[in-house]
Chain A
Amino acid sequence: MILELKNIDKSFGEKEVLKGVSFTAEGGKAFGLLGRNGAGKTTSIRILMNVFPANSGEVLVDGKPIDYDKIGIGYLPEERGLYPKKIIIDQLTYFAELKGMSRKDAVKSIDYWLERLGMTEYRNKRLDTLSKGNQQKIQLITALAHDPDIVILDEPFSGLDPVNAMLLKDVVKEQIAKGKIVLFSSHQMSYIEEFCDSIAILNNGVVALHGDLHDIKRDYPRDRLVVRTENSDAIKADFGSACSITESGDLLIQLSSADEKKAVMTRLVENYDVDEVRVFEPSLNDIFVEYAGDAAKED
């Protein structure tokens, strides 16, 4: 299944929020929708979910306009919240029924997810008696219980402890393995980098960068080497001003051109005790700052 947003324009009053936004997400892969606050991520998601229509542009699934009766969408909004005063099983069943499930199927699926997330003991409790992290797990069930084709997770990891984050990672991987489209929106780049095969960076309502994360990284000039070593002082003395230290404490050597790569690598391995030499690839964080940050400065 391929989900495609094509030339989406949207304005609220005088304010143009989206200007010709297009991106493609594939089933069985995770897609990261990135952007700074106010870049248009939530608006894109809402248009995708048919909360309001776009001024122009299309949402396509496998090349045809999306049929919301057939394509199920699960959504974990960034602003979390359900009914605080209501019994958990009651409200979860309600949300699942609204998504078109029968009552019986809904209860069955919810019980599965409560079990899966270790929340069965809270089944008949009121939501406001739960801790914040547990409330978030309950909210995750509203996004998954009806077995949607497209899962949209907006900042899914915020507020989760490492154990719960682990649990969520497993769930997400499971969803991806089932061939679903998992759409992430997050500011936590490490998670996006871990899961997402392709990304789109939104900036001021425009897609600043879109594509396969691996390809994007490969497209950067491969003219820097990262060296992990115990005797960095000697190497620094040898390479002089081409050397710098990365944040993680490794050596970074700037080459005069990418063609030099092989020669320098050989030189390093032959002359020094080196643990690791590899071509430097920018982190998603670097890429994000470059695309979302720079364009922002132009304003």
Chain B
Amino acid sequence: MKQFGKILKFELKYYFKNKIFVGVTIFLVLAIAAVMFFPRITALFETDDTSDTSTELSVMLVKADEPAQADMVKQAFATAFTDYDVQITDESNDTIKDKITSGDAECAFVMTDATAYTYYVNNLSMYDMNTEIANEVLQQIYQMNAMIGGGMTAEQATNVMNIQITSEVESLGKNQMENYFYTYIMIMALYMVILLYGQMVATNVATEKSSRAMEVLITSAKPTSMMFGKVLASCLAGFIQLVAVFGSALIFYNLNKSYWGDNMIIDSIFNIPPELLVYMLVFFILGFLIYAFMFGAVGSTASKLEDINTSVMPITMLFIIAFFVVMFSMSSGDVDNTIMVVCSYIPFTSPMSMFTRIAMSTVPWYEIAISIAILVGSTVGIGVLSAKIYRVGVLMYGTTPKISNIIKAVWKA
């Protein structure tokens, strides 16, 4: 136990003295700061801009054969396109085109009929919604005219057109929309952290082995202490990194809360229900540990650092498959499908799939309990097994041993 503490401390120090680890953490915090301060910064520029640009709206030309129609369209467009200076023109189409290409006007609607037009614009932007808006406005004008023609008063017609539907949504289970984003963030964070830190644990073990520091280590400390010390240190380091990143996100968000307004996504992320946060922690830590143990065991069987990437492939693949099952189920909206239910009991997939189900659906407590119990049991089991593999693996040099040989050696040891 004493050794375990010392190993944990030593390994943890390794992370905090590692320039890359510190650098990545600082970079992430800065990136989060940039995102969180973004609305405040843009607001700063916007207040400067509005006073200048208000006098110079871009020009939108409207041309129609009948002056009455032109007038009506102009008025309707002027209310619909507030950021344009809508003007009537009776120039020829060629002159209009020239004006647009020269930049005197931004765009033009040339009406060929009450329900048909040609839209002229210089460069059609991907986000140009003008035709959609125009279609709607023209449709309304046509419908109004038709209703008035049919004998309604203008007032009646306007009321019909502007009828509002009131509705209320009451979700009896979970609101998937609201939970989607933080579930997504948690799954992504788990994915990134496990792959990143798992690789780090494997590399760490393999480095000790290839530098032969292992020869001294294995005679000084128990393999179980070594394995658990290493893995828990990486878990702590990862956790501290996440707390730094998400903690700073929370602080920066609160500093800039007023600028974010009623952004539903951001709001839902920072308002995770406490009980879900606890589940998140539990699944995160267990999921991290079970994979980190496997990565550590694999690292101990590699003789050279170069072998690591191929050795960890099966674990990485297993993890990526679990990740995609969860991701597809999340985007399909049905998180309680058979695969997800099965996955939420398999220890390697349950951290992601059971958490997703808890967050986005309603899962009975006993199912959660069973899933966590299986996960805890297998994490301890994998931990002990990985320490055994570690003890055998670190003394095997030469070519990376076959899995069957390792199993045999572990069995006999």
Q: Which residues of A contact B (CB under 8 A)?
A: 12-13, 46, 49, 51-53, 73, 75, 77, 79-84, 91, 94-95, 97-100, 139, 142
Contact = CB atoms under 8 A, between A and B. Distances in A.
Interface residues of B, number: 24
B219 A51 contact: yes
Contacts of A97: 6
B395 interface: yes
A98 B215 contact: no
Interface of A is mostly: loop
Contacts of B412: 13
B208 interface: yes
A51 B213 CA distance: 15
Given A91-B213, A100-B2, 4 more contacts: A51-B391, A82-B211, A82-B213, A142-B216
Interface of B: 2-3, 6-7, 10, 208, 211-221, 391, 395, 405, 408-409, 412-413
A94 B219 CA distance: 13
Main secondary structure, interface of B, reads: helix
Contacts, number: 57
Contact of B212 (A73, A75, A81, A99): A81
B264 to A, nearest CB: 48
28 contacts: A13-B405, A13-B412, A51-B218, A51-B219, A51-B391, A52-B395, A52-B413, A53-B413, A75-B215, A75-B216, A77-B215, A77-B219, A79-B212, A81-B211, A81-B212, A82-B213, A83-B208, A83-B213, A84-B211, A91-B213, A95-B220, A98-B6, A98-B217, A98-B220, A98-B221, A100-B2, A139-B216, A142-B216
Given A94-B10, A98-B6, A98-B7, A12 B216 contact: no
A110 to B, nearest CB: 14
A51 B395 contact: yes
Nearest to B214: A81
A79 B214 CA distance: 10
Nearest to B408: A13
Nearest to A49: B219
Nearest to B10: A94
B385 to A, nearest CB: 16
B308 to A, nearest CB: 17
Nearest to A139: B216
> Which of B211, B215, B412, B413 lies at the interface centre, i.e. has the most chain A CB atoms within 10 A of its CB?
B215
